[in-house]
């Protein structure tokens, strides 16, 4: 907790569900306790779409503090159909998300195109979209250019396939923007 208070950059508080990549098999009650404990250090919280109902008290506490709510969806096996992706956006919006985050596996250009198509029209909430797998790295650059509002990179070691080191990601984005 003391280390979290020393961060100078905005923090996203995440206590990931094991079904969506969480490293520990924490109960929902324990996850709720951790969210609440770290809420004062957060600029945003990230809660999986599958858990918005169960963690509604955490979301309400975040709202009271002016902390943004990211509603996320992860699929480590594939990219869902276009219809399913639109349903995720609709459900995230209905859950009161400030930002909707979608992270899926994209091992084909069709999956990459399906994710990119999310930026073609107007969405009710800002999107943070990224892929893992074969097209993970290119997706992060492409979607940042297309309007993805949160673009994840790593400082020490990647925690998902497709992530760039922060410095390299900044350099590549700069090259694309010049």
Q: Which of 68, 101, 113, 122 is catalytic?
A: 101
Q: Which residues of 87-119 are buried (b: 16+ CB within 10 A; e: fewer)?
A: ebbebbeebebbbbbbbbbbbeeebbebbbebb
Q: What is the rounded CA–CA span in Å between residue 138 and residue 146?
A: 12
| CB contact set of 61 (below 8 Å; sequence gap of 6+) | 36, 39
Q: Which of 74, 113, 122, 137 is catalytic?
A: 74
Q: C-alpha angle with apex 12: 8 to 14, nearest 5 degrees?
A: 135
Q: What is the rounded CA–CA span in Å between residue 91 and residue 48?
A: 11
113 included as an active-site residue = no
122 included as an active-site residue = no
Residues in the chain: 178
Residue 35: name the closest of 81, 10, 67 by CA: 67
Catalytic residue annotation: 74, 101
């Amino acid at each position: 907790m003391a280390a979290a208070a020393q961060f100078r950059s905005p923090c996203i508080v995440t206590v990931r569900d094991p079904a969506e990549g969480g490293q520990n098999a924490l109960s929902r009650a324990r996850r709720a306790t951790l969210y609440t404990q770290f809420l004062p250090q957060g600029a945003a919280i990230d809660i999986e779409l599958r858990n918005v109902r169960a963690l509604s008290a955490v979301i309400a506490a975040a709202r009271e503090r002016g902390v943004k709510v990211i509603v996320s969806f992860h699929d480590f096996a594939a990219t869902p159909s276009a219809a399913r992706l639109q349903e995720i956006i609709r459900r995230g919006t209905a859950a009161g998300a400030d930002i909707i985050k979608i992270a899926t596996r994209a091992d084909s250009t069709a999956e990459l195109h399906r994710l990119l198509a999310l930026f073609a029209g107007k969405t009710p909430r800002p999107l943070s979209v990224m892929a893992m797998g074969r097209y993970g790295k290119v997706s992060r650059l492409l979607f940042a250019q297309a309007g993805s509002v949160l673009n994840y990179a790593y400082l020490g070691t990647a925690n998902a396939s497709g992530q760039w080191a922060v410095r390299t990601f900044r350099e590549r984005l700069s090259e694309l923007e010049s």
